[in-house]
Structure 1
Amino acid sequence: MLKRSTKIASAVIGLVTLVEAAAFSGTYLFHTRHYVSTDNAKVDGDAIEINAPRTGTLLSWSLTTGSTVSANEVVGRIEEIGSGGQPQRVIKAPRAGTIAATNVVPGQYVTAGTKLATAYDSVYVTARVAEEDIEGVREGSLVDITADAYPGRPLLGQVLDIQAATAGQFTIYPAAGTDPRNPQKIEQYVPVRIALLNTNGVVISPGMNVDVAIRRS
């Protein structure tokens, strides 16, 4: 026979567990009712490559990660090798953008066409939403975003566009341990492009992993 105190303790533990489970279920239902969420999302952008116009030694280089450039801005100079007078050639940014990565330093020898830096003229989030959830997403909907690199700095976005959904597909190659006579459905995802409205003062770069919660309209 269990002691009375043991029975009371067990009952209390059971009650606390039920309360916690109910609270979790309530929070989950509230969230799914008001948001379409996915962690299958990354910061993306339209890349601009800045390449070496000639083979030679990099005399100067002004770009750093996070710096901005304008179209045709001079960002460096190369002393061309192989010419009699070894003339200097300027390096220009082809379009305006924000530098995401630089690959060189002054004094470095580079060959014509070498990628010196990568910039982006627009940065956005591409979220892959499960096909069965896409009906809850609308263009113009606000989006709460959390970047893995900045867990305590919430970001705000807005849905720009939604790609057309594709029909579910089936594969004839079932996973190990499943009945080979039953084709397995492949999970389908619809890419959703999200503009960044407020980055909360942090630098958001393409390739970052993010979680998104799209507010249902």
Structure 2
Amino acid sequence: MSKVQNLKKIKSLCLLTLGGTVAYQFIYYKKDFPGYYENILQPLSQHVNPEWAHKLGVTALKYGIFPPESFKDPSVLKTKFLNNELSNPIGIAAGFDKHGDAISGLRRIGFSIVEIGSITPEPQPGNPKPRVFRLPEDNAVINRYGFNSEGYENVLKKIKHIDKVTLDRGILGINLGRNKDSQDAVHDYTLGIKTFNEIADYFVINISSFTK
């Protein structure tokens, strides 16, 4: 057997192995996503830079890579909050979806309350990297993002493109921050309330995390 034939066989074997692996992953993902997440995705994420892992999670929700929640909330979880009837009282706080990218995805996986931000009037980069740190012994993460934000107007444009039915399915909170170089924090927060007034169900005024 020639060297060329051997190389072709090795290439075919590699392609077959890769195809089988991809097919197995896809079947596992479709059949048992909770198990796939717990046994594959979550362990893999621990080997990725924590800030990149955060971004990947938001992106996956943004583009619907995570399947929608098929579990139907039991009636005992129904609650009324801010004059809204919710199927459950579970919400996600600001800090995860900082720029309003994953509102629809978070709704699809079962959150009734989604709070985005903190958002600042003008775009700003936040603190220098590294700024997200894992604490494996505590199963925890510390972030020192420092109000990295795309700015009020950019986030507002994203929210306006979300289907109204999706927004009406739960409660949307807007967490407002101030710019690092702002000389008038009250103006920044007031501008935020005016900007998102017709969309937000509630506001949070964040005074704790701006960079110095």
Q: Tell me which interval the TM-score lies in, with the shorter structure as reference length.
A: under 0.3
Which structure has more strand as a fraction of its residues? 1
Scaled by the length of structure 1, what TM-score is found?
Answer: 0.23
Of Structure 1 and Structure 2, the greater helix share is in 2
